[in-house]
Amino acid sequence: MSLDAKIPQGPLAEKWSKHKFNLKLVNPANKRKYNIIVVGTGLAGASAAASLAELGYNVTAFCFQDSPRRAHSIAAQGGINAAKNYQNDGDSVYRLFYDTIKGGDYRAREANVHRLAEVSVNIIDQCVAQGVPFAREYGGLLDNRSFGGAQVSRTFYARGQTGQQLLLGAYSALNRQIHLGKVKMYTRHEMLDVVMIDGHAKGIVTRNMKTGEIDTHAGHAVLLCTGGYGNVFYLSTNAIGSNVTAAWRAHKRGAYFANPCYTQIHPTCIPVTGDHQSKLTLMSESLRNDGRVWAPKTVEIAKKLRNKEITAAQVKEEDRDYFLERKYPSFGNLVPRDVASRNAKEMADEGRGVGTSGFAVFLDFADAIQRLGEDTVRAKYGNLFDMYYQITDENPYKQPMRIYPAVHYTMGGLWVDYNLSTNVPGLYALGECNFSDHGANRLGASALMQGLSDGYFVIPYTLGDYLATIGPKPVDKSHPAFEQTKQDVVAYVNKLLSLKGTKTVVEYHRELGHIMWEYCGMARTEEGLIKAKGLIQELKADFWKNAIVTGENEEFNLALERAGRVADFIELGELMVTDALMRRESCGGHFRVESQTEEGEALRDDDNFAFVAAWEWKGDNQPEELHKEELVFENVKLTQRSYK
């Protein structure tokens, strides 16, 4: 199948405006004849559902949480990018576009990224109008701070809880439409399959997580806004419930999965303390504005720190290696996340890591407190410092934070064209669920930007083009495809419930996470990836033989929910390894040890790998088929990334 990204013709800066004019429209009287299904109610889902309902469409929204406001978007901390240039420091739409393309190591579509930069300026106005309490300067103007991968201040923020405040804004807009009857909200419902009729997505199958009832829902289009798949690694900064099931089941119904191996490792997370943990905690990248990252210069000093023979405060200035500032003087501590993460790992690999495990470096605010005063630092980062203290029982005002990289975000996802449509007509993917805007590494503060861009400003235009093509004829829920897909789900649920082995699904999930982190994490080798593929295949066979799933379907059954998600993660894990094995280059968050510069930086192979890898499901235990979307760069020059 040919991958047509539907990128508009014409100059980059005019593509989106011209495209909007050329899209087909649905007149206001006809909009109420269409039913739209939205799965997921984070920033992308809530903003899309609210916007489409405001336009007049009938929307049915689903989330597996007990309230839309519990979506994982709420956990985002540091901020949201927008090319407003309020600081008058040289920012522009083009600079945000360029920083994003470069930050993604030239593995994203130019047209999508430029559109994201364009609409970013509108997102801030939209959110302010909703009452989002962005930080303000003394004079009352919106404040900005810096984030990694940029030399300007373009990140709008609400202390360390930006995601929460933005989600409350979208949630209020969604609630308004629920009250008006334009959105029908289903909470505690998990999507388990897509209903296909004549090659088009026409509905979904869900399970009521409280009662176990499996039901079908019909719509003219299905929008997946279900987030990323970082929990394939077991330990990540994602909420424990975050999963890949909706996207993966869509993949098994024909939607291509693009660039699955592109995983973002966030450099500033609270380090792992042991196998008892079920998730990791992120410390916002905004902390790198004022915090300085360092490790001891020698292994001997690091050993003394690990053995608690000395404290960090006792390490002399000349014995500290501010390695990011040393290696990347232009950007310093504000290099992109993949660069900062890889360098922190190098410190640990050299034996210069700190903390009990040795897998940590310091993030030190002593200079900032001395320069700005503790009250100023507290005003900017107080809730983050408090969170760190609550988890570690260490006071970051008095001693440096210990940080280490952890899985945070996934750049891969369902393949979509410029309209956010998957290759399956009628099936759309928004936000982190799709692959489209971040290439091989996402710049900090761009996830919130993409989710709201897709929901508020892109899908309301592009969805109408498809709906106008198919017409408002009601979807026939009596079509056999609905009952057949429902029975497929029932059979799969019963298959899971028949597992009466001796190992819990959590044990399998943890084992999968160990394999993925060890062989498909920050550094990857061909030998390691080949080994990982075999280990995952063995794990999958063992899962279906020896896993235990207790309880019944007709009840609140966490074991059953977890089993389905882990089974999907195992299959996804194998595809991620396959994708990583195929991509014999280093780029962004994907670092192949065999492909690096003399200075140890990621070395791309633009001649052979300047493409999007889109994988097609070919059946259980069958190799997936690779489709390539060649990336064409007309406005930026492909160069070796440098943040020095």
Span 370-388, mean pLDDT? 95
Rounded Cα gap, residues 547 and 557, in angstroms: 16
Residue 275, pLDDT score: 80
List pLDDT tens digits, range 595-641.
999 888 889 999 999 999 999 999 999 999 999 999 999 999 999 88
Asked about 337 being catalytic, the answer comes back as yes
Write out pLDDT tens, residues 342-363: 999 999 999 999 999 999 999 9
Residue 9 and residue 530: Cα distance in Å, rounded? 42
pLDDT (tens digit per residue) in 148-197: 999 999 999 998 899 999 999 999 999 999 999 999 999 999 999 999 99
Q: pLDDT, tens digit, for every residue of 500-555?
A: 999 999 999 999 999 999 999 999 999 999 999 999 999 999 999 999 999 999 99
Per the CB < 8 A criterion, the answer to whether 426 and 86 are in contact is: no
Give the model confidence (pLDDT) of 388-442 as tens digits: 999 999 999 999 999 999 999 999 999 999 999 999 999 999 999 999 999 999 9
pLDDT digits (tens, 9 = 90+) for 45-67: 999 999 999 999 999 999 999 99
pLDDT greater than 70 at residue 454: yes
Could you say which of 292, 337, 562, 592 is catalytic? 337
Instruction: Kindly list the distances between the CA atom of residue 54 and the CA atoms of 40, 45, 180, 267, in Å, as whole numbers in the listed order.
Output: 18, 14, 10, 39
**Under 8 Å CB-to-CB from 507, ≥6 apart: which residues?**
none
DSSP-derived secondary structure for 361-386 = EEEE-HHHHHHH-HHHHHHHHHHHHH
pLDDT for 276:
85
Average predicted confidence (pLDDT) for the chain? 96
Nearest to 283 by CA among 352, 366, 362: 362
- Rounded to whole angstroms, the Cα distance separating 179 from 172 reads 10
Average the pLDDT over 306-323 and give the result: 97
Strand spans (E) along 209-289: 214-218, 221-224, 257-258, 263-269
Indicate whether 2 pLDDT > 80. no
Position 236 pLDDT exceeds 70: yes
When pLDDT is averaged across residues 261-284 and rounded to a whole number, the result is: 92
Which pLDDT belongs to residue 274?
Answer: 81
Three-class DSSP category at 16: helix
Q: Average pLDDT for residues 374-400, to the nearest whole number?
A: 95
